[in-house]
């Protein structure tokens, strides 16, 4: 009801204080937010979070698994903590699941000297680190299975890949450091990684007539010594060993191409499933490109291992083209940039860079045009004071105080016509606002382009008068309904009240809800002046009962167009607007 009264649907004197409502309390009761755990770890394995994911109804994996358990080191945020550091686990945080609360596990922790931290029953929020990590892992698993088209039985392989990637990805909780780097004390390698589920070709050991390679899908490339693949033809999983990249030397002559290969490890390592180690991850484009190149030149190329096989018989290379002699690809800019004048853009950018616009108040004060910038700042502060934008209060202890910033702009004038304009604007640092506390809704409508074109068409066809004007410091006319505290502006801190902060009363520029509050203020003003809103565009206001006395007003944030056949009606509307807002014609 208070909202209805604020929006003008009801009169304020008709709304009484409803007071406490027991039914609302009983019907809307919910848990309070859980505070973040306050513990600081200084080394790995000091504090470890753990949780179990899965259920009997989960689709069995290739190894018939239905569960996985995560261990997250609190210091490094590394998952799957390993006992390879020479350090002992000190404290383990888990829930009260039977997998953790049993005699065998309790005995193991006591014998190992591990301290237990258990959450309260039915409060998974207290084990948030593990729960959130399980969610992150399964989100990645679902995305990988969806993208590759693999069915649910591959979830364990996808989960292993997800954990491996998370351990080697920056984490916001540790200032965007990499968990693996904190764990091993060095930068991890990424060269061996391959896309999960990507197409690969594996050299197979068959008879002389059968194909020399089998198409497979790469399941896991997280191990440095071997790769895990899925052979669709045999409907089975296999592991193959990696080999070191070979160094190749290619020599061309008039009659043939000779290749000498040097390798540090020339012995091929056998692997399970009758598969050897020449693995070529590729995609469809590279596959077709490789096959066409092979058929035309008599050479076959493996992308990953750089192997080159030669035709046994010397061939005629009269038509053979070296790479330097081939026709080069013509580079063209994307079609979206066709017709773009890059020179004009560069000149405009250069002019903008050359403008001497200070970034802070004290920088403006010390600049060569310091007096003009200070004058512009004084003008802005006068406007803020006239609109009673804030009042000074004691700094609150239970609410965050946002900052503010001066924005300085130099608008170049027209030589011998208009002088340059120095403008200063005080804006709040709205990015520090919290949704639900400092603001709720932020949407504010603007007039549609179709409405503008329609009005201009009416002006031309009916010979109407048209005026354009805007509202000075429009957002300052909006009234705030939330309590927002802001630091005093730089250069204008009140003497003797340096410890106080500004309690905002008006919607200052930079606040997320400022456009919406300004639109509400202007809308209620126009409705009170008996103007009607268009049913098709909420920013079109009109008044009148005939073409002769009809007046239209279109609002785009703080700019407006007014059109009517009568110039007298337009002047009357401008006077009404000027009585409430500071207008610029």
Residue among 222, 218, 245, 246 at smallest CA distance from 232: 218
Half-sphere exposure of 123 (CA within 13 A, CB side): 10
CATH numbers and ranges of domains, the chain: 48-184 (3.30.420.10), 199-316 (no CATH), 357-584 (no CATH)
- Predicted confidence band of residue 20 (pLDDT cuts 50, 70, 90): low
Asked whether residue 371 carries a pLDDT value surpassing 60, the answer given is yes
pLDDT at 408: 92
Asked whether residue 299 carries a pLDDT value surpassing 60, the answer given is no
pLDDT at 521: 93
Asked whether residue 583 carries a pLDDT value surpassing 70, the answer given is yes
Q: What are the CA-CA distances from residue 57 to residues 54, 65, 68, 98, 554 (Å)?
A: 8, 11, 14, 18, 60
Half-sphere exposure of 8 (CA within 13 A, CB side): 11
Range ranked top by mean pLDDT from 15-19, 200-204, 372-376, 430-434: 372-376
Distance CA 238, CA 217 (A): 11
Give the H or E element holding residue 110: helix 103-112
pLDDT at 261: 40
- Predicted confidence band of residue 396 (pLDDT cuts 50, 70, 90): very high
Rounded to the nearest 10 degrees, how much is the dihedral formed by the CA atoms of 76, 79, 80, 84?
Answer: -20
Other beta carbons within 10 angstroms of residue 132's beta carbon come to: 14
Strands in 100-183 per DSSP E: 115-118
Asked whether residue 157 carries a pLDDT value surpassing 70, the answer given is yes
Greater model confidence, 91 or 324: 91
pLDDT at 401: 92
Residue % of the chain over a pLDDT of 90: 28
Asked whether residue 206 carries a pLDDT value surpassing 50, the answer given is yes
Q: Which residues on neighbouring strands pair with residue 402, listed in sequence order?
A: 486
Distance CA 126, CA 120 (A): 8
pLDDT tens per residue across span 107-154: 777 777 777 777 777 666 666 777 777 788 888 888 888 887 887 778
Looking at every residue in the chain, the average pLDDT score rounds to 74
Q: Of 187-196, 225-234, 307-316, 569-578, give the lowest mean pLDDT range.
A: 307-316
Residue among 543, 525, 544, 540 at smallest CA distance from 583: 525
Distance CA 515, CA 306 (A): 60
Distance CA 237, CA 216 (A): 10
pLDDT at 17: 60
Other beta carbons within 10 angstroms of residue 213's beta carbon come to: 16
| Contact criterion met (CB below 8 Å) for 74 and 47 | yes
- Predicted confidence band of residue 309 (pLDDT cuts 50, 70, 90): very low
Q: Of 4-8, 132-136, 303-307, 338-342, give the lowest mean pLDDT range.
A: 303-307
Greater model confidence, 183 or 177: 177
Residue % of the chain over a pLDDT of 70: 65
Which residues are CB-neighbours of 282 under 8 A, at least 6 positions away?
Answer: 198, 199, 200, 201, 290, 303
**246 exposed, middle or buried (CB, 10 Å; 0-12, 13-18, 19+)?**
middle
Asked whether residue 320 carries a pLDDT value surpassing 70, the answer given is no
Greater model confidence, 306 or 380: 380
Asked whether residue 335 carries a pLDDT value surpassing 60, the answer given is yes
pLDDT tens per residue across span 503-519: 999 999 999 999 999 99
Rounded to the nearest 10 degrees, how much is the dihedral formed by the CA atoms of 369, 370, 372, 374?
Answer: 160
Asked whether residue 208 carries a pLDDT value surpassing 80, the answer given is no
Distance CA 324, CA 14 (A): 87
Which residues are CB-neighbours of 28 under 8 A, at least 6 positions away?
Answer: none
Greater model confidence, 469 or 330: 469
Distance CA 157, CA 217 (A): 12
DSSP codes, 455-479 = HHHHHHHTT-EEEEEEETTGGGGSB
Residue among 76, 77, 72 at smallest CA distance from 52: 72
- Predicted confidence band of residue 548 (pLDDT cuts 50, 70, 90): confident
pLDDT at 163: 83
Greater model confidence, 209 or 157: 157
pLDDT at 584: 87
């Amino acid at each position: 009801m208070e909202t209805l009264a604020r929006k003008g649907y009801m009169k304020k004197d008709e709304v009484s204080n409803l007071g406490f409502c027991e039914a609302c309390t009983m019907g809307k009761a919910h848990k309070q937010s859980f505070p973040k755990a306050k513990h600081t770890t200084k080394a790995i394995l000091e504090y470890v979070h753990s949780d179990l994911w899965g259920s009997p109804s989960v689709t069995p994996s290739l190894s018939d698994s239905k569960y996985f358990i995560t261990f997250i080191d609190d210091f490094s945020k590394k998952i799957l903590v390993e006992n390879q550091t020479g350090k002992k686990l000190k404290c383990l945080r888990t829930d009260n699941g039977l997998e953790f609360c049993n005699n065998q596990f309790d005995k193991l922790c006591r014998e190992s000297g591990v301290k237990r931290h258990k959450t309260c029953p039915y409060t998974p929020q207290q084990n948030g680190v593990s729960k959130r990590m399980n969610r992150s892992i399964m989100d990645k698993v679902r995305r990988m299975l969806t993208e590759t088209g693999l069915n649910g039985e591959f979830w364990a392989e996808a989960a292993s890949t997800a954990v491996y990637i998370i351990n080697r990805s920056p984490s916001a909780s540790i200032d965007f450091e990499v968990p693996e780097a904190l764990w091993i004390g060095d930068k991890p390698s990424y060269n061996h990684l391959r896309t999960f589920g990507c197409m690969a070709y594996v050299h197979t050991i068959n008879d002389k007539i059968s194909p020399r390679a089998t198409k497979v899908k790469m399941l896991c490339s997280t191990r440095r010594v071997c790769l895990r693949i899925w052979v669709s033809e045999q409907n089975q999983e296999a592991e193959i060993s990696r080999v070191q990249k070979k160094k190749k030397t290619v020599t061309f002559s008039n009659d043939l191409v000779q290749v000498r290969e040097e390798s540090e490890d020339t012995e091929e390592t056998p692997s399970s499933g009758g598969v050897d180690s020449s693995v070529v991850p590729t995609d469809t484009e590279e596959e077709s490109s490789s096959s066409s190149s092979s058929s035309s030149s008599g050479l076959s190329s493996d992308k990953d291992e750089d192997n080159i096989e030669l035709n046994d018989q010397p061939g005629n290379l009269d038509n053979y083209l070296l790479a330097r002699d081939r026709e080069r690809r013509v580079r063209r800019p994307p079609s979206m940039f066709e017709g773009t004048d890059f020179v004009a853009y560069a000149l405009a950018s250069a002019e903008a860079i050359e403008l001497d616009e200070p970034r802070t108040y004290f920088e403006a004060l010390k600049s060569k045009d310091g007096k003009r910038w200070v004058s512009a700042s004084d003008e802005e502060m006068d406007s803020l004071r006239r609109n009673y934008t804030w009042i000074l209060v004691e700094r609150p202890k239970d609410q965050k105080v946002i900052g503010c910033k001066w924005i300085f702009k130099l608008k170049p004038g027209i030589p011998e016509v208009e002088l340059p304009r120095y403008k200063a604007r005080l804006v709040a640092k709205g990015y520090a606002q919290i949704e639900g506390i400092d603001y709720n809704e932020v949407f504010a409508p603007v007039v549609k382009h179709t409405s503008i074109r329609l009005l201009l068409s009416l002006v031309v066809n009916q010979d109407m008068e048209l005026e354009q004007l805007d509202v000075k410091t429009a957002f300052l006319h909006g009234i705030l309904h939330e309590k927002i505290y802001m630091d005093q502006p730089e250069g204008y801190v009140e003497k003797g009240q340096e410890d106080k902060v500004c309690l905002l009363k008006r919607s200052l520029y930079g606040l997320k809800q400022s456009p919406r509050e300004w639109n509400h203020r202007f809308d209620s003003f126009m409705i009170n002046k008996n103007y009607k809103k268009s049913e098709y565009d909420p920013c079109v206001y009109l008044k009148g009962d005939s073409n002769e006395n009809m007046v239209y007003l279109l609002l785009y944030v703080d700019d407006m167009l007014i059109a009517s056949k009568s110039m007298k009606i337009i002047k009357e509307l401008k006077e009404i607007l000027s009585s409430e807002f500071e207008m610029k014609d």
